[in-house]
Structure 1
Amino acid sequence: MIVQQIFTSGIAHSSYLLGGNSACAVVDPGRDIDIYMDAAAQMGWKITHVLETHLHADFISGHMELLKRTGASIVVPRSGNCNFDAIEVSEGDSFEIEDMTIEVLETPGHTPEHLSYVVTDGSRGELPVCVFCGDTLFVGDVGRPDLFPGKANELASKLYDSLHGKLLELPDFCEVYPAHGAGSLCGRAMAAKRSTTIGYERLYNYALNIGDRESFIRSLTENMPAAPDHFSRCSEVNRVGPELIEALPPLKAIPQDEFMRLLDDPEHIVLDVRCYEAFGGRHIPGAYSIDLNSNFATFAGWLLPPDKNVLLVTDTPENASRAVIWLHRIGLDRIVGFLEGGMHAWAMSGLPTEHLCQVSSLELDNMVRDNEDFVLVDVRAVSEFNGGHIQNAINIPVHELRYSYKELDPDAKTVVICGSGQRSSMGASILQQKGFSDVHNVSGGMTGYNAAGFGPDCPLCALPWLSSGKERKDD
């Protein structure tokens, strides 16, 4: 028996190949499946099964792609009520792949239909060797139960039972393979390690060591991080069965005149995936700024309206293709194409552009010390803001700015800051869309501000999965 982990860093997603001598299963696959096909081919395996632990909320699964390419049997939770041909399983069911026996546990809590797959390697022994537990148990954390409105307490209670009544009944040496690692918003405090054991988590996982059910429920239903918008969409797409990638229109380069005509149609939006410095220098009016090298998938799923057609602006055709892969991963499939020749060709054609002034750390500090008349909007998460911020800053997390911009004066000089300059560029682009006439982005964000000596270091910021930058305490 061999377990091969595939980790997709942008969404902190772990999927797996569980293989024997000639056959294998793919567990919780992502939508772009070539990596599984290549890995299986290298090992000489035929993909015979696709195992889904649950209806994933944060990404589009690759089960339909693998079915099309390999004819593999898809194994899903019976209570998920999936709309495609699959083997539906529930508590007590089992099946075999060569010498391996896979037993099904129902482990609801993160989602109502959640399963875990317990594997015994019959060629070596009779006790479970590993468990694929999806989003029930993570390294150092457990799945969040608050993704379903009005059901958080109920699901948290079920999660308590799934953990203490089922997973913790497995042997201490049983290896734990979760569907996510540090950086995912499917939990709150995942560790950076990507696998663990039941015994280690029993000793050191904070959630497993909460003494009673009620305290456990409170811990997982209070002060949880916000969930991106696409979390409420992807589960249903995965239940129905995602459209095959091959059925989507191919990516094309769009000439400037055609691109300009498409802008007149309100069904189209412009997504500029260049770095925030390039966006600041010159961009198409009304464009969203989401840097491809930022936490792109999360913020694209959070900020972009899913019912619009997407027009891309990139530096290169290769980056357009990269952006499309990431957008498909979160279920944004209505991608028309990318601007041929990029912003250089657009500007050379004399077409309208807009810019976003970039403010340095020194300039911002001078503005603060001189009591200049401006509004400083900090678009970091509440936890980051509470860890330290510039005096008089207003905290509006970037995803909330889509609606909370109404609380701000569109005629006031508005300076936007985050940890690095990326999220603040996203926020500034939204303000420009809403008619704000004097918007500025802080280049380098709080990280640069502190590095310049204008604020103390924040110890938490040394942990890259907790924060994207350093913060300044209140003056």
Structure 2
Amino acid sequence: MHIKQFEYKPLSHYSYAIVSDGKMAVIDPERNPQQYYDFAKENQAKIVVVIETHPHADFVSSHLEIHTKTGATIYNSEMLGAEYPHHSFDEGDSIPLGTITLKAINTPGHSPDSITIVASENDETALFTGDTLFIGDVGRPDLREKAGNMKAKREALAEMMYDTIQNKFKELPDNALVYPAHGAGSLCGKSMSDANSSTLGNERMGNWAFKEQSKEEFINTLLDGQPFIPAYFGFNVGINKAGADSIEPSIAKIPFTENVTADGLIIDMRDEATFKKGHLKGSINIQAVSDTMKFETWLGAIVEPEEAFILVIDAEKNKEKLIHRIAKIGYEQQLTQVITLSEENLEKTEQLNLADFKANSDNYTIVDIRNRSEIAEGKFFDTALAHPLNELRNTAHTIPTDKPIVVHCAGGYRSAAGSSILQKKLKGVTVYDLGDAVKQFQK
């Protein structure tokens, strides 16, 4: 069985290709399908099958584009309510792929329409579990209350997940390989392993969800401490249910201008040091200077779906890559312009006197922009006000402005965005970014 795992690190997303006898299936593909076409060519295979384990919330899938280009049949659960051409793929259904057989198991819990794909050939078995079974965890059950064709309460989905874990994998062998759609760092679960695959036997031994426990204990553990839900998640479920536009035509129309100024909602992707030396007034600094920074997640958490914005980039050579990153979450449609900056009309961010802050922290209003689940585990500063970054544009007006403000997160990346939001929102007050110096205060 020839299986290829593709990883997109910023979203901790895994997609897959299976090749047998010149035929190829793609599972849970990301927005840009070129890597799957390249892999098919390398293996002299034709893409004939595309399978969606569920309508994804955290990224836009290219299943419709692959179907349009290659003629491959799209398969998904009929419960999904897909608006694109597809064949139903539910429990009892199977797909031949060369010498491999692909079967579906309905495994609700993360969503009502989730399936697990069982690939078998001779004595080999591989499970493509989507967002149902992760390595060390299971998918969160609270993403479908306000999005998608099927709405379900988190308690009902948690109960479905208990039934799925108790019963749906029983007949499968311990040596079955487990290939999830996400790994550590994804917001689709809360305690995933860094490992990118496992065996069902290892999960039965080490994954908390398989431990002997009552339904009530399982549900309480699953619901407790889940991370925040970015604004774009429901938006992406809708896009994936309808099928996304092909990526290249979608991004080709976005204008680019060098050495200019701009007004409106401005997202500046440059590194925080460069941003603080000079940026357009009111810009929000969501850094994307490395391929692993969580740019997509925080763009989709801070900027609302369908809210128009302008992107400031560091250099024209990075334009295409950054637009592709924005398209991963379907935000290219609301990106009105990409620009580089002139040196005129730029605003600077003042640098914090760290020694004074250490000696006189009571002279500052400290704002903690970590996620609520992080804050619940303990504060770095007893007097800090909790304003999670994903809520900050809406809660900034409630922050006192009688003292200078110091913004912190856990490591420095998010505080660059948070301090720039407060600099935009609050007038007549100095806003400082504690940055990576926060590590000096961690207990």
1:32-43 equivalences under 5 Å are 32-43=32-43
Deviations along 1:65-89, one digit per CA (max 9) or x if unpaired, are 2112211111111011111111122
Q: 1:254 to 1:308 in 2, by over 3 A?
A: farther
Residue 97 of structure 2 corresponds to 97
1:132-151 equivalences under 5 Å are 132-149=128-145, 151=153
Deviations along 1:122-150, one digit per CA (max 9) or x if unpaired, are xx34xx61111101101000111111336
Greater Cα offset, 1-10 or 429-438: 429-438
1:283-294 equivalences under 5 Å are 283-292=279-288, 293=290, 294=293
Residue 279 of structure 1 corresponds to 275
**1:421/1:443 contact within 8 Å kept:** yes
Please say if 1:59 is aligned against 2:49: no
Q: Distance in 2 between matches of 1:77 and 1:445?
A: 49
Residue 191 of structure 1 corresponds to 193
Q: 1:412 to 1:115 in 2, by over 3 A?
A: same
Letter in 1 for 2:348: H
Please say if 1:384 is aligned against 2:374: yes
Letter in 1 for 2:436: G
1:182-331 equivalences under 5 Å are 182-250=184-252, 251-256=254-259, 259-260=261-262, 263=263, 268-292=264-288, 293=290, 294-331=293-330
Q: Distance in 1 between matches of 2:360 and 2:314?
A: 38
For the residue of structure 2 that corresponds to 1:137, the secondary structure is coil
Matching residue within 410, 414, 419 for 1:423: 414
**1:138/1:190 contact within 8 Å kept:** yes
Q: Distance in 1 between matches of 2:294 and 2:378?
A: 21
Residue 357 of structure 1 corresponds to 350
Letter in 2 for 1:107: T
TM-score using structure 2 length: 0.93
Q: Distance in 1 between matches of 2:5 and 2:306?
A: 34
Q: Distance in 2 between matches of 1:40 and 1:242?
A: 22
Residue 461 of structure 1 corresponds to none
For the residue of structure 2 that corresponds to 1:141, the secondary structure is coil
**2:396/2:426 contact within 8 Å kept:** no
For the residue of structure 2 that corresponds to 1:326, the secondary structure is helix
Q: Distance in 2 between matches of 1:66 and 1:117?
A: 19
Deviations along 1:396-417, one digit per CA (max 9) or x if unpaired, are 2111212221221245311111
Q: 1:169 to 1:414 in 2, by over 3 A?
A: same
Q: Distance in 2 between matches of 1:411 and 1:33?
A: 52
**1:418/1:445 contact within 8 Å kept:** no
TM-score using structure 1 length: 0.87
**1:210/1:216 contact within 8 Å kept:** no
Q: CA deviation at 1:372?
A: 5.1
Residue 149 of structure 2 corresponds to none
Q: CA deviation at 1:365?
A: 4.5
The alignment yields a C-alpha RMSD, in angstroms, of 1.7
**1:411/1:438 contact within 8 Å kept:** no
Return 5+ residue gaps in structure 2 as ranges.
146-151
Deviations along 1:412-470, one digit per CA (max 9) or x if unpaired, are 311111233221111112112213331111132423xx2xxxx4xxxxxxxxxxxxxxx
Residue 438 of structure 2 corresponds to 446
Q: Distance in 1 between matches of 2:372 and 2:366?
A: 15
Letter in 2 for 1:177: Y
Q: Distance in 1 between matches of 2:125 and 2:426?
A: 59
Q: Distance in 2 between matches of 1:358 and 1:246?
A: 41
Letter in 1 for 2:284: Y
Q: CA deviation at 1:179?
A: 0.4
Letter in 2 for 1:420: G
Residue 148 of structure 2 corresponds to none
Residue 7 of structure 2 corresponds to 7
Q: Distance in 2 between matches of 1:384 and 1:249?
A: 36
Deviations along 1:171-222, one digit per CA (max 9) or x if unpaired, are 1111111100111111110001101111110011012215111111111112
Q: CA deviation at 1:353?
A: 2.0
For the residue of structure 2 that corresponds to 1:83, the secondary structure is coil
Residue 458 of structure 1 corresponds to none
Residue 399 of structure 1 corresponds to 390
Q: Distance in 1 between matches of 2:266 and 2:14?
A: 31
Residue 110 of structure 2 corresponds to 110
Q: Distance in 2 between matches of 1:13 and 1:249?
A: 22
